[in-house]
């Protein structure tokens, strides 16, 4: 199979309401474009959500790390390219390049996905699903490079509770869960405007641990690593970790 048949292109345009006060696309909106690109790529190859639901399976996003040299700005046209880098039984690594019309990169992203059985909520062996069809689409790092660091580890030692929010209607997706993109919004809302009017974000990482639901109260714990790097842990019901994130400003 040709390399290009394994890689998909998802074009997007930076709409006025999708940019922040500095004119750069919101990280959450960019994340949404990445997830759409991933969804389309799977769909076209026969293992999208629709096909999976019939077989009682669904994709679950576990990690997403986005690293940007520059964020696309209002009215700019850009493109997401996405491909599967590897499949390891219960997980697949999917990469992304975010490109300008001339092919130069705004940045890159990495993600990890599991496939679960919708009834048991347990992960499935990806290599056995559809006779391992997904392996045919793997594009190795040698074939297509994703030149950003892998997902890091989180260690929360002295994180401080900085905000508590209720979850409302617009936080919730069709599955009744707080939607993956809304966490990104709420996490970035912890920071003062000066962090965004300057150079902006260099790298954003998030690890999704447990689902939260409408009405759950979310506690946000902030742990500064240094002047420009911050770890955030989101917990529900006082103790259960919902997700963890790392924000590196430039």
Which residues would be at the binding site for a second copy (CB under 8 A)?
15-17, 19-23, 26, 28, 32, 35-36, 39, 49-50, 74-75, 168-170, 172-174, 176, 179-181, 185, 188-189, 191, 193, 196, 214
- The DSSP letter of residue 39 is H
Residue 184 CB, shortest distance to a second copy, in Å, is 9
DSSP strand E in 101-173: where?
Answer: 105-117, 160-166
Gyration radius (Cα) of the chain, Å: 18
Residue 131 CB, shortest distance to a second copy, in Å, is 27
Q: Give the C-alpha separation, 181 to 178, whole Å.
A: 9
Nearer to a second copy, 103 or 176 (CB): 176
Residue 138 CB, shortest distance to a second copy, in Å, is 24
Which of 188, 197, 194 has the alpha carbon at shortest distance from 230? 188
Nearer to a second copy, 15 or 125 (CB): 15
Residue 174 CB, shortest distance to a second copy, in Å, is 5
Q: Give the C-alpha separation, 227 to 225, whole Å.
A: 7
SS3 (DSSP) at 176: coil
Residue 53 CB, shortest distance to a second copy, in Å, is 12
- The DSSP letter of residue 169 is G
Nearer to a second copy, 84 or 188 (CB): 188
Nearer to a second copy, 139 or 219 (CB): 219
57 forms beta bridges with: 117
Nearer to a second copy, 149 or 189 (CB): 189
Residue 82 CB, shortest distance to a second copy, in Å, is 15
Nearer to a second copy, 100 or 195 (CB): 195
Phi, psi (deg, nearest 5) at residue 59: -85, 140
Which of 65, 76, 63, 82 has the alpha carbon at shortest distance from 27? 65
Which of 171, 202, 197 has the alpha carbon at shortest distance from 71? 202
């Amino acid at each position: 199979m040709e390399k290009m048949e394994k890689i998909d292109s998802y074009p997007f345009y930076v709409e006025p309401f999708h940019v922040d006060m500095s004119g750069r696309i919101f990280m959450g909106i960019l994340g949404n474009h990445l997830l759409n690109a991933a969804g389309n790529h799977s769909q076209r190859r026969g293992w999208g959500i629709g096909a999976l639901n019939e077989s009682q399976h669904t994709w679950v996003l576990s990690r997403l790390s986005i690293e940007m040299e520059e964020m696309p700005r209002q009215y700019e046209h850009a493109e997401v390219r996405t491909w599967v880098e590897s499949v390891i039984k219960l997980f697949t690594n999917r990469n992304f390049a975010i490109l300008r019309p001339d092919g130069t990169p705004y940045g890159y992203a990495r993600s990890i996905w599991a496939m679960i059985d919708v009834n048991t909520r347990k992960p499935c062996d990806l290599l056995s699903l559809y006779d391992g069809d997904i392996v045919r689409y793997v594009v190795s790092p040698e074939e297509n490079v994703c030149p950003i660091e892998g997902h890091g580890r989180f260690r929360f030692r002295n994180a401080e509770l900085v905000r508590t929010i209720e979850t409302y209607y617009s936080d919730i997706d069709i599955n009744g869960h707080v939607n993956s993109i809304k966490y990104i919004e709420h996490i970035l809302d912890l920071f003062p405007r000066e962090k965004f009017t300057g150079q902006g974000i260099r790298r954003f990482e998030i690890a999704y641990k447990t689902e939260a639901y409408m009405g759950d109260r979310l506690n946000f714990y902030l742990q500064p690593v240094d002047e420009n790097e911050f770890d955030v842990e989101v917990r529900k019901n006082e103790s259960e970790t919902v997700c963890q994130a790392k924000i590196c400003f430039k």
